Structure 1
């Protein structure tokens, strides 16, 4: 979600941004792939008790490979991701797809209600509306019960939320951190307005984690609420995932690292890393990105996964303004016969973002990529399922801000069963979408082409 006020604020501060980002570039993923080790037959797999032996890891991967058609997404891609992150691939996780805001909020509120030790919530946007106040009331209740509650919210994303909303939380004992405050007088170090915290992540007692693209806002709460676009009230369509098992510890590490970097106040010791038992059968890796060329892990993940796909790539993305490496990966995949389908929004809160995305349609369609635009909703999901076994749900948009400058988090799931659920959700969105046909697209009006070309000029600031 890109709030209008925050968006224009960022544009006004481009001069400040450019001082830090002028030399920033995305990593060369082809080089990363070439340098990744290829001698090991299977990726390292971790459990709650430690790293499995190579033989046991191989046995697990062989079992997974037998459930789908042959694909390099299970081994070569895993080796590339291992080369750029210390976050392990963990076994024994239960992964639950939360297909929309209603499902996500129900799961989040239930998890918060059950908390016994601590609640760590990190979000880009938390609004002072019916949903935001519901969360605030429950968090205050749990704090009063002795559960330690900590909140990280992004300064730009939550720009429209009144200070009084957060002061109420602080006054009752909740520890609240404003990520990279817009007001430079609030910072304790380098003022970096260009680096938002775009993560959405809830960790309960170190045992349950919920992550994805859903902010805390009433626009997601039902089909009867949403945002007005061109006079129509459109609901927001987004996706989260709930994780139970060893992978939760990796979400916790990301939260605690951000808390420390943002000079979060010290609190009483809690059991942040309890002994975790296996809760399911999914292999999960949690990947987080932070600013800096060496830390653009979600970018490497996406380019590598598309590169190694052999059968199908089914992707939904809210703000699709990719760099040349991602565009080339999609077009190369389509040309080698991979079924590439991409669902994008037909309307959103930023018309510039829509037009910048459409600038790339011709090249993608010419290569054989199938593009669809979701109708009757503002598509905000950031998900993909590849070769019927590899899935990701997270906060990462395929635009320059997410790929280059934001703090992001994605869950990577290796599971045939979970991929089936992801394919069902993709099919539901596909049924509510209109395909962009190449012949018709090439006959679009000149005025539309001008809008696309103009938006393209500013793509690195979207």
Structure 2
């Protein structure tokens, strides 16, 4: 979310308050506290779902250090989300805008058949124009290019920017138009937004995470920077993306195709969207795509992982306005001896969300949760690593809007190798963060308390 789009959120939010009844999240506490002993998750490979015997053998080879509890937990996660694990993938963790943009542009340049891009924000700035030019060039070279962009996230972008791409032959879809006159049959649900960040090239490589197509990612943040900038104007946003290769890419592709079809638009043009999958690596992953009014797959997975945590919970969240169930799960984990640490923004592009999240600091700190605020750079990453073996990267913030009202996409990667990469990233962020203590927090200015109190009334809509 950038400053321009945030400026549009408040009037839309107030309008939605008048138009929509409050929906609610499912009760994940009803899930059994202990996974069934010996339960095994199902696993899909390049030839479909594996037999139980082959799944056991594959898990023993690809996840050799997994305990019986961890395998049972994976089975329980499948039971609550309805999504199986996918084997044979390669996962590349990408830090910050410049690294991510370079990898995405490299993949687009190498495209031979089709490119599907889904994004909340597609700005008309130097970086956005660079992407548009590259996509236009590929379309003119015979590659099929399809783009879904959110109509609220791009509210400040001139339509001429998109019409230029359309005139070049690119197929574009504005998700849930703000103007109800532009709808084609479906009900007007302006509060339901497409917050996913997804790029799939030739059905063989996929990218997802928190990074939009915006100039805010043209610079690097403090992450692994050799020379530390001293002014915010010199620093890019801190964000995380992931590049996936292997059979799991088909799950990303299906998500895009379903979203396109769900908007009652013209059919996607013919292309080889689902090539024969090939084994690209040894990573086990689960691709979760959630939609408003759906099965709350990402919310369930997050809360279940927190409930089942044994040693550590390390969360990074750009917009932290948790629901009561998530707050209680984090507090319970800390009280049973799990080390719970959360990196949150020290500066933000959304003051309302910033102060609404602060309203939960006191009770979390009192329960033993450690809270850190990233300094200087604007934090926009949405990641988690639990017990060093369960990790997720995606578009989902820990807030009601993401869990309930947005279309989001997260990938869960199981195993110690990727978990270690995520842990190293988390530790890097801690080095550029300031810890907030309970004593310090309770001594904060009265003016801040008033802002938090006022913002808390908007929690459901933020």
Tell me if TM exceeds 0.5: yes
| Contact persistence 1:370–1:436 (CA under 8 A) | yes
Matches within 5 A, 1:42-441: 42-62=40-60, 66-67=64-65, 70=67, 72-76=69-73, 78-188=74-184, 189-223=186-220, 232=233, 234-292=235-293, 294-441=294-441
1:71 deviates by: 7.8
**Alpha carbons of structure 1 residues 37 and 257: separation in structure 2 relative to 1, 3 Å:** farther
1:100 deviates by: 1.1
More divergent stretch after superposition (360-369 vs 442-451): 442-451
1:35 deviates by: 10
| Contact persistence 2:232–2:377 (CA under 8 A) | no
Aligned-residue Cα RMSD (Å) equals 2.1
More divergent stretch after superposition (85-94 vs 251-260): 85-94
**Alpha carbons of structure 1 residues 71 and 375: separation in structure 2 relative to 1, 3 Å:** farther
| Contact persistence 2:33–2:307 (CA under 8 A) | no
Q: TM-score under structure 1 normalisation?
A: 0.93
| Contact persistence 2:63–2:415 (CA under 8 A) | no
Q: Which residue of 1 aligns with 2:226?
A: none
1:64 deviates by: 6.0
CA deviations 1:27-48 (Å, max 9, x no partner) are 11112x2399836621001101
Secondary structure of the residue aligned to 2:32 is: helix
What is the aligned residue count? 453
Q: Distance in 2 between matches of 1:282 and 1:362?
A: 38
CA deviations 1:286-333 (Å, max 9, x no partner) are 0011011x4211111110111101011111000000011111111111
Secondary structure of the residue aligned to 2:122 is: coil
1:63 deviates by: 5.1
Secondary structure of the residue aligned to 1:313 is: strand
Secondary structure of the residue aligned to 1:237 is: coil
Which stretches in structure 1 are left out of the alignment for 5+ residues?
none
1:459 deviates by: 1.1
1:180 deviates by: 0.4
Q: Distance in 2 between matches of 1:164 and 1:65?
A: 50
**Alpha carbons of structure 1 residues 42 and 341: separation in structure 2 relative to 1, 3 Å:** same
Q: Distance in 2 between matches of 1:298 and 1:36?
A: 20
Which stretches in structure 2 are left out of the alignment for 5+ residues?
223-230
1:13 deviates by: 3.2
| Contact persistence 1:298–1:403 (CA under 8 A) | yes
**Alpha carbons of structure 1 residues 46 and 9: separation in structure 2 relative to 1, 3 Å:** same
Q: Distance in 2 between matches of 1:240 and 1:72?
A: 29
**Alpha carbons of structure 1 residues 449 and 48: separation in structure 2 relative to 1, 3 Å:** same
